């Protein structure tokens, strides 16, 4: 194999190519970035306790998520502004996700319109409609929110992912230092374009509440996932308010700093929802073993954020494909070494907490 052999090496290669301002935007997080580091290091504090002689056979990493059969338990988390990473932006990401047979959660703040992203994904999967979910920041202007939802539906998106952890924007001091607060000329967020042609700004409002989720539930028949759940009570409330899934996430440490690592909260959240809705997780997933740990602790699947952007910056569509291929191979290997063939069968007793010293 030539080039990077794991996600960390893709990261290194990508970051060497990006200018300082963009590298800081992608890699950075809120304030002291305690949570950014914690997400990754928490996986290292979990050990795997494999079973032997299970005769499980060859692993198949396929799983079903909200009725969607995907090639592996890894989705592409919504990340904004892909044209900052590569001139093809989300077009390249969409092709790589479709070719890999997994779900792209397309960000509302994409630099390519959702209709064009969906069209691009269709180019590489002629047999079936490639699964795209749409990430939504509920806007206080419900008429505008509804217009965006209708666009996502018309584009063929198969679920809505409501990001709930953003009643305000996290404080990114790297962006302050770089005075980076606007997209460069020529880039914008076409999903926010109104019929009149004007591109609005996104509003992150502390007034958004469960009532808005109820409104959304009545406004669309698409499945709704709530992303950014950390408290077990909120996971329960999401299910009570008609959510079809929850994503345990601290936004990759980009919103409230010093929240616990998402993997730490996963078992409590899985217990709280009692199987009423599937639980997904993102934050710090960099290895196939990380994925298997999340499955063991109650996740149906995980999502990756920065690794996708780094793949894109490293080599466009081929770079994202590389990231997804590397991870798929690692998952198959990890499952085999743990004595499992089926990701859905992985049990909680596979994971132990350790301090390595
Ligand atoms: C550059 C960047 C942009 C992001 N933009 C969004 C966004 O627009 N909406 C959203 O819900 N999450 C966004 N996220 C958070 C991701 O969806 C995800 O929660 C996080 O990246 C997972 O952590 P990881 O990067 O360690 O995999 C963003 C993350 C990054 C790194």
Using the predicted structure, report yes or no on whether residue 145 has a pLDDT greater than 90. Answer: yes
d(CA 230, CA 245): 13
Interval 270-309: pLDDT, tens: 999 999 999 999 999 999 999 999 999 999 999 999 999 9
Residue nearest to atom 19 of ligand 1 (CA): 251
- Give 139-146's long-range contacts (Cβ < 8 A, gap of 24+): 139/202, 139/203, 139/205, 140/203, 140/205, 140/207, 140/208, 141/203, 142/212, 142/215, 144/194, 144/200, 145/216, 146/219
DSSP 30: S
Note if 251 is an active site residue.
yes
pLDDT reported for residue 196: 82
Domain boundaries, the chain: 7-346
Residue 112, ligand 1, Cβ within 6 A:
no
107 C-alpha to ligand 1 centroid (Å):
9
Pick the CATH number of 7-346 from 3.20.20.70, 3.40.50.720, 3.30.530.20, 3.20.20.140: 3.20.20.70
Residue 44, token pair as written in the block = 């290292």
Token pair for residue 336? 């085999």
The dihedrals phi and psi of 161, each to the nearest 5 degrees, come to: -115, 105
- The per-residue pLDDT for range 165-220, each reduced to its tens digit, is 999 999 999 999 999 999 999 999 999 999 888 899 999 999 999 999 999 999 99
Beta strands 351-353 and 46-48, pairing class: antiparallel
* Listed residue (261, 305, 247) closest to 43, CA to CA: 261
How confident is the model at residue 12, as a pLDDT?
98
Give residue for tokens 């059969």.
69
Residues linked to residue 301 through DSSP beta bridges, in sequence order: 280
- Using DSSP's 3-state secondary structure scheme, residue 193 falls into strand
Supply φ then ψ for residue 42, to 5 degrees. Answer: -65, -35
Average pLDDT of the segment spanning 86-99: 98
Does residue 126 have a pLDDT over 70?
Answer: no
What does the pLDDT read at residue 1? 60
**Would you state the pLDDT for residue 21?**
98
* Residue 5 burial by Cβ neighbours in a 10 Å radius (0-12, 13-18, 19+): exposed
Strand runs (DSSP E) across 289-348, as ranges? 301-304
Mean pLDDT of the chain: 97
Structure tokens at 218: 């009545």
Asked whether residue 127 carries a pLDDT value surpassing 70, the answer given is: no
Nearest CA to ligand 1 atom 7: 79
User: What gap in Å lies between CA 137 and CA 107, rounded to an integer?
Assistant: 9
Q: Are 40 and 286 in contact (CB under 8 A)?
A: yes
pLDDT at residue number 128: 77
Ligand 1 and 284: CB distance under 6 A = yes
Give residue 144's pLDDT: 97
Q: Which two tokens stand for residue 325?
A: 């291929």
In the predicted structure, residue 313 carries a pLDDT above the cut 80: yes
356 has pLDDT over 70: yes
Q: What is the pLDDT of residue 195?
A: 84
pLDDT over 90 for what percent of the chain? 96
Binding residues: 25, 78-80, 135, 137, 163, 227, 249, 251, 254, 282-286, 305-306
What proportion of the chain, given as a percentage, has pLDDT over 70? 99
Q: Give yes or no for residue 357 having a pLDDT over 90.
A: no
The phi-psi region of residue 324 (left if phi > 0; otherwise alpha if psi is between -120 and 50; otherwise beta) is: alpha
Looking from the CA of residue 161, the nearest atom of ligand 1 is: 11
Ligand 1: which atom is nearest the Cα of residue 227?
Answer: 11
Q: What would the two tokens of residue 326 be? A: 């590397």
Could you identify the atom of ligand 1 that is nearest to the CA of residue 251? 19
């Amino acid at each position: 194999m030539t080039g990077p052999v794991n996600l960390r090496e893709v990261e290194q290669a990508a970051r060497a190519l990006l200018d300082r301002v963009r590298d800081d935007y992608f890699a950075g997080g809120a304030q002291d970035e305690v949570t950014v580091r914690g997400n990754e290091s928490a996986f290292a504090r979990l050990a795997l306790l494999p079973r032997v002689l299970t005769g499980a056979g060859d692993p198949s990493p396929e799983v079903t998520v909200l009725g969607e059969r995907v090639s592996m338990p890894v989705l592409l988390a919504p990340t904004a502004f892909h044209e900052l990473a590569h001139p093809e932006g989300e077009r390249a990401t969409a092709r790589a996700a479709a070719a890999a047979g997994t779900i792209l959660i397309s960000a509302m703040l994409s630099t390519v319109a959702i209709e064009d992203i969906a069209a691009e994904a269709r180019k590489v999967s002629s047999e079936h409609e490639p699964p795209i979910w749409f990430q939504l920041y509920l806007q206080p202007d419900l008429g505008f929110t509804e217009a965006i939802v209708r666009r996502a539906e018309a584009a063929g998106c198969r679920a809505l992912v409501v990001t709930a952890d953003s009643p305000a924007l996290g404080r990114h001091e790297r962006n302050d230092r770089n005075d980076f607060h606007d997209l460069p000329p020529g880039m914008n967020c076409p999903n926010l374009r109104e019929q009149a042609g004007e591109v609005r700004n996104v509003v992150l409002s502390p007034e958004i509440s469960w009532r808005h989720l109820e409104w959304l539930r009545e406004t669309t028949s698409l499945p709704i996932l709530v992303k950014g759940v950390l408290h077990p009570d909120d996971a329960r409330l999401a299910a009570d308010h008609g959510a079809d899934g929850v994503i345990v996430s601290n936004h990759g440490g980009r919103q409230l700093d010093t929240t616990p690592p998402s993997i730490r909260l996963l078992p409590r959240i899985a217990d709280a929802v009692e199987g009423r809705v599937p639980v997904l997780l993102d934050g710090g997933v960099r290895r196939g073993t990380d994925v298997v740990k999340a499955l063991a602790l109650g996740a149906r699947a995980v999502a990756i954020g920065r690794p996708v952007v780094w793949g894109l910056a490293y080599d466009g569509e081929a770079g994202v494909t590389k990231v997804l291929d590397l991870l798929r191979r690692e998952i198959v290997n990890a499952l085999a070494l743990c004595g499992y063939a089926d990701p859905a069968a992985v049990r909680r007793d596979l994971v132990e907490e350790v301090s390595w010293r």
